[in-house]
Amino acid sequence: MRRAAFFGIAIALVAAAPWLLHTPYWRGILVICAMNVLLALSLNLVMGYTGQLNLGQSAFFGIGAYVSTILVKTYHWNFWLASLAAVAFAGVVGLALAAFAVRLRGHYLAIASLGFAVITYQVLVNWEKVTEGVRGIYGILPPVGSTVGLFYLIAGIGVLVYWLMDNLVRSPVGDTLRAIREDEVSAASLGVRSYVWKAFAFSIGAGVAGLAGVFYPGFVGTLVPDAFNIVESFTMLAMVIVGGMGTMIGPVVGAVVLTFLPELLRGFGELRLMVYGIALTLVVLFMPGGIVQLVKRK
């Protein structure tokens, strides 16, 4: 009953949001927020439930955006078919990365995944014959005709992804992932093939990040590599940590807070980034479990 009530409230908030924030500017921020929720959920599965520090999530975001756009613009695929192909490709690339990275731990895995993000960014910049490099791809149309419609589409998919992931982490699969996170050696002694399940988490997380990426070009109208640099990976990391790593609702809260907070601080002018940085530092220092964990303790 509590879960049903929660999803009912979530759907009601999604439905009301574009009418509460009814200016074109804030409706655009809502679209960005919906994409950030997908990105935070994708990283949380890898980091929060499997305990793997992945700093390459921006690469999968970019892969989803570029693969779908190239298929639509160059090969004239239907958007939805191109999106499915892009999500599948991002998932396969995530699986390929996992094949090399799952035996790494801690900062070694962080460095390896960060290197993958840098390599992906350089490919997007330099493979000009396919990606147009820094010149970018222009004239990209959204899958729906209005900002409100695009928000409802992405947010609806976000609710569905949340529901699927929530069921996943509540299942024996979720118990397996948490066992790997808490003590990989003990999990292996019980017959858990940690490398298989870590690869599974990497692949699903990469696919969800690619799913967020397919909507980005149509919203912006252009596609350039700078939108997927390594700074984006740290932004996703901040969303997961601030909201509450290892919970389902935490990354959603973190994505909403860190999407809207910079906009609300614009009145501070040049001091905006300083205030934003101080706020993040205070959260990490005094709420190490994130906003959601603090609320639970109360």
- Predicted confidence at residue 42, as pLDDT, reads 95
User: Within a domain: residue 234?
Assistant: no
Region 192-198: what's the mean pLDDT?
87
The answer to whether residues 63 and 187 touch, using CB atoms and an 8 Å cutoff, is no
Strands (E), the chain: 137-138, 222-223
- Percentage of the chain modeled with pLDDT above 70: 97
> Would the pLDDT of 294 be above 80?
no
- Would residue 257 count as lying in a domain? no
**pLDDT of res. 156:** 94
Residue 244 pLDDT greater than 60, yes or no: yes
**pTM exceeding the 0.85 threshold for the entire prediction:** yes
Q: Is residue 180 part of a domain?
A: yes
Give pLDDT, residue 33.
95
The reply to whether 296 falls in a domain is no
d(Cα 272, Cα 173) in Å, to the nearest integer? Answer: 42
What's the average model confidence in pLDDT over 211-218? Answer: 96
pLDDT at 298: 52
The predicted pLDDT at position 296 comes to 64
- Note whether residue 45 is domain-resident: yes
Query: Is residue 161 domain-resident?
Result: yes
Instruction: Give strand pairing partners of 222.
Output: 138
Question: Tens of pLDDT along 58-74?
Answer: 999 999 999 999 999 99
Assess whether pLDDT exceeds 70 at residue 76: yes
Which domain range does residue 38 map to?
A: 2-229
pLDDT (mean) for 157-171: 94
Q: What DSSP letter does each residue of 156-219 carry, written as one string?
A: HHHHHHHHHHHHHHHSHHHHHHHHHHH-HHHHHHTT--HHHHHHHHHHHHHHHHHHHHHHHHHH
Tell me if 278 is assigned to some domain.
Answer: no
Q: What is the largest CA-CA distance in the chain?
A: 57
- Tens digits of per-residue pLDDT, 86-133? 999 999 999 988 887 777 776 788 888 899 999 999 999 999 999 999
Q: Which of 219, 84, 200 is nearest to 144 (CA)?
A: 219
> Does a structural domain hold residue 294?
no
Q: How many domains does the chain have?
A: 1
pLDDT reading at 39 higher than 60: yes
Mean pLDDT of 233-253: 90
Alpha-carbon distance of 259 to 117, in angstroms, equals 22
Give the residue with greater pLDDT, 145 vs 163: 163
Q: Which residues contact 250 (CB under 8 A, 6 or more apart)?
A: 44, 48, 240, 243, 244, 290, 291, 292, 293
Give the separation between CA 184 and CA 80, rounded to whole angstroms. 39
Q: Is 182 exposed, middle or buried (0-12, 13-18, 19+ CB in 10 A)?
A: exposed
Contacts 24+ apart (CB under 8 A), 193-196: 194/102, 195/102, 195/103
- The arithmetic mean of pLDDT across residues 200-214, rounded, is 95
pLDDT at 260 over 60: yes
User: Does residue 237 surpass a pLDDT of 70?
Assistant: yes
**Residues 6+ away with beta carbon under 8 Å from 194:** 102, 180, 184, 187, 188
Mean pLDDT for 176-191 is: 86
Average per-residue pLDDT in the chain? 89
The bridge status of strand 222-223 relative to strand 137-138 is antiparallel
